[in-house]
Amino acid sequence: MANSKHMANSTTNPMVDMVAALAQMPAERRDDMMRDRLLTFAEQPSEQRNQSMRMMLEALVTLPPEKQAVLTEARMRALVGLSPEARMVLCRKPTCAC
């Protein structure tokens, strides 16, 4: 029997749709899109950034474990490629993307 936690209804949550699409992309494109998403988060006001990061992580756990790993690796590669300033904004508690 399938784990219902990994069978999110993507028609009701755009973040789940975006995360699922990222997981299916070729690696280079996924890394570019993840970097763009993290840069967008870094530019947001703190409260909005907290909400965006939380929504992305909540969407991530709706995926099967192997897809979660793919996106976690992409997120880490994207963070490494950001400027130190953007990394500091994203890695500040409680929004820690690390």
| 10 inside domain | no
| 21 inside domain | no
| 82 inside domain | yes
Q: Which domain holds residue 73?
A: 27-98
Who's near 44: CB < 8 A, 6+ residues apart?
52
| 79 inside domain | yes
The ranges of the chain with pLDDT < 50 are 1-10
pTM reported for the whole predicted model: 0.78
Question: Within 13 A of 55's CA, how many CA atoms are on the CB side?
Answer: 15
| 9 inside domain | no
> Would you state the pLDDT for residue 97?
57
> Would you state the pLDDT for residue 3?
42
| 1 inside domain | no
Q: For the chain, how many structural domains are there in total?
A: 1
